[in-house]
């Protein structure tokens, strides 16, 4: 009995520790990377591309995930303090907004996949759908749609008393127990992971097929603008594919464990089984946040165009070299270590020795 109790305590400690560590790993690099995403995707070379627009808006939603949701989760894991468990209004608002923001950020990447399919199509009517105007409209419609279809959470999420195996009663914000809890888990799994992941793969395959078809039809000789646009399209598609694969890998376990928990909610479990499931749930949920915080590093690794624009932003910060003044008792001399300044007529700082 003592060995079982010790094992349960170790599992509970591991659950708290893993959640805290993974959240802390996510936060600093995620915050820095997403800020750089905004700076790069607003560059003139990229801000006219509809696919870049989807990346940018998805980044803005991910900023909410990193700067709002992750800190709440860190406080909840480290201090065991979550205001949603004590205030019904916060309970409904927090879970509703957190779910909507995370789902919208994933579906925006799906819209980017659809845009690449339209852009690579040989059908001129489909190609016309790949435009910045259409991207703005689609993003707005998607956001409003997700706000509406997740509105049931405002009604059916509540604070319930949960009794542990030791008899301790705690308050927890969760979906209403019973049929709705199973529905909520299935609904979120479908919209957050299963449906967008499947559609991303589908449109990715169709886009690759369009590109192969174009290579057989379009002549190899083309002007510089066409080659430059083709390179940009290829870079954006490569960045998109690697992010799609990463989203699938990081979000599927979270949805699967949530669905399993909902279907086994009425099953009697001992303390050890509960501790094991809590650990698995914490691990899967924490891993899913990497889908929202790692896009900058994926883009940097796979997109040379992205790296070029990033270098233009951060490069000047590492090439600033100071000018030094060398003086002697008999004269005044200025020594510049910056060769650019040697070719320009600039104001000279004069130090007068008397």
Q: What is the pLDDT of residue 96?
A: 95
Task: Please tell me the distance from the alpha carbon of residue 15 to that of residue 172, in angstroms, as a whole number.
Answer: 17
**Cβ atoms 176, 158 nearer than 8 A:** yes
Q: What is the pLDDT of residue 217?
A: 53
Compare 37 and 264 and report the one with higher pLDDT: 37
Residue found by looking up tokens 């700076």 in the block? 39
332 — pLDDT class (breaks 50, 70, 90): very low
What mean pLDDT comes out for the span 307-325? 71
Please choose, from the candidates 142, 140, 135, 133, the residue with its C-alpha nearest in 3D space to the C-alpha of residue 51. 135
Q: What is the pLDDT of residue 226?
A: 65
Distances (CA, A) of 138 to 106, 119, 132, 233: 14, 15, 10, 20
pTM to 2 decimal places? 0.82
Q: What is the pLDDT of residue 50?
A: 92
What mean pLDDT comes out for the span 235-258? 86
Task: Please tell me the distance from the alpha carbon of residue 184 to that of residue 142, in angstroms, as a whole number.
Answer: 20
List pLDDT tens digits, range 45-80: 888 889 999 999 999 999 999 999 999 988 887 777
Distance of CA 95 to the CA centre of its chain: 18
- What are the E-state strand segments in 112-221? 157-163, 169-175
Q: What is the pLDDT of residue 36?
A: 95
* Domains by residue range for the chain, with CATH: 16-215+231-311 (1.20.1070.10)
Least confident span in 22-26, 248-252, 339-343: 339-343
Please choose, from the candidates 303, 298, 110, the residue with its C-alpha nearest in 3D space to the C-alpha of residue 203. 110
List pLDDT tens digits, range 78-105: 777 888 888 899 999 999 999 999 999 9
Task: Please tell me the distance from the alpha carbon of residue 240 to that of residue 192, in angstroms, as a whole number.
Answer: 18
What mean pLDDT comes out for the span 206-235? 69
Q: Is the pLDDT of residue 234 over 90?
A: no
Compare 25 and 333 and report the one with higher pLDDT: 25
Least confident span in 33-47, 90-104, 154-168: 154-168
Q: Is the pLDDT of residue 321 over 80?
A: no
Compare 197 and 353 and report the one with higher pLDDT: 197
Query: What mean pLDDT value characterizes the chain?
Result: 82
Q: What is the CA radius of gyration of the chain?
A: 27
Q: Is the pLDDT of residue 189 over 50?
A: yes
Q: What is the pLDDT of residue 66?
A: 94
Q: Is the pLDDT of residue 2 over 50?
A: yes
Q: Is the pLDDT of residue 223 over 90?
A: no
List pLDDT tens digits, range 251-284: 888 878 877 877 777 777 788 888 888 888 888 8
Q: Is the pLDDT of residue 330 over 80?
A: no
Q: What is the pLDDT of residue 334?
A: 46
What mean pLDDT comes out for the span 191-215? 85
Compare 255 and 333 and report the one with higher pLDDT: 255
Q: Is the pLDDT of residue 352 over 70?
A: no
Task: Kindly state the percentage of the chain with pLDDT values over 90.
Answer: 33
């Amino acid at each position: 009995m003592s060995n079982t109790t010790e094992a349960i305590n170790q599992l509970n400690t591991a659950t708290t520790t893993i959640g805290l560590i993974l959240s802390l790993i996510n936060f600093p690099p995620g915050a820095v990377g997403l800020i750089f995403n905004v700076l790069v995707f607003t560059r003139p070379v990229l801000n006219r591309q509809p696919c870049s627009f989807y990346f940018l808006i998805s980044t803005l939603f991910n900023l909410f995930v990193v700067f709002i949701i992750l800190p709440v989760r860190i406080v909840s894991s480290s201090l065991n303090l979550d205001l949603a468990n004590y205030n019904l209004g916060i309970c409904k608002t927090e879970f509703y907004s957190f779910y909507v923001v995370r789902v919208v950020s994933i579906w925006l990447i799906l819209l980017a996949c659809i845009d690449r399919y339209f852009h690579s199509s040989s059908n001129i009517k489909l190609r016309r759908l790949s435009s910045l105007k259409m991207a703005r409209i689609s993003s707005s419609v998607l956001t409003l749609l997700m706000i509406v279809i997740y509105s049931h959470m405002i009604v059916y999420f509540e604070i319930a008393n949960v009794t542990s195996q030791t008899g301790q009663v705690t308050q927890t914000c969760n979906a209403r127990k019973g049929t709705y809890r199973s529905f909520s888990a299935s609904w979120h799994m479908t919209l957050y992971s299963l449906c967008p992941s499947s559609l991303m793969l589908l449109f990715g395959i169709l886009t690759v097929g369009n590109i192969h078809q174009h290579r057989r039809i379009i002549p190899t000789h083309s002007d510089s603008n066409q080659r430059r646009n083709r390179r940009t399209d290829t870079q954006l598609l490569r960045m998109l594919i690697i992010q799609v694969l990463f989203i699938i890998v990081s979000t599927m376990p979270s949805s699967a464990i949530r669905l399993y928990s909902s279907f086994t909610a009425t099953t009697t479990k001992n303390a050890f089984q509960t501790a094991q499931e809590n650990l698995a749930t914490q691990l899967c949920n924490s891993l899913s946040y990497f889908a929202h915080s790692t896009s900058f590093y994926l883009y940097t690794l796979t997109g040379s165009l992205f790296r070029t624009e990033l270098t233009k932003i951060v490069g000047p910060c590492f090439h600033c070299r100071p000018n030094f003044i060398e003086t002697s008792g008999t004269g005044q001399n200025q020594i510049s270590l910056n060769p650019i300044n040697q070719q320009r007529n600039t104001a000279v700082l004069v130090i007068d020795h008397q």
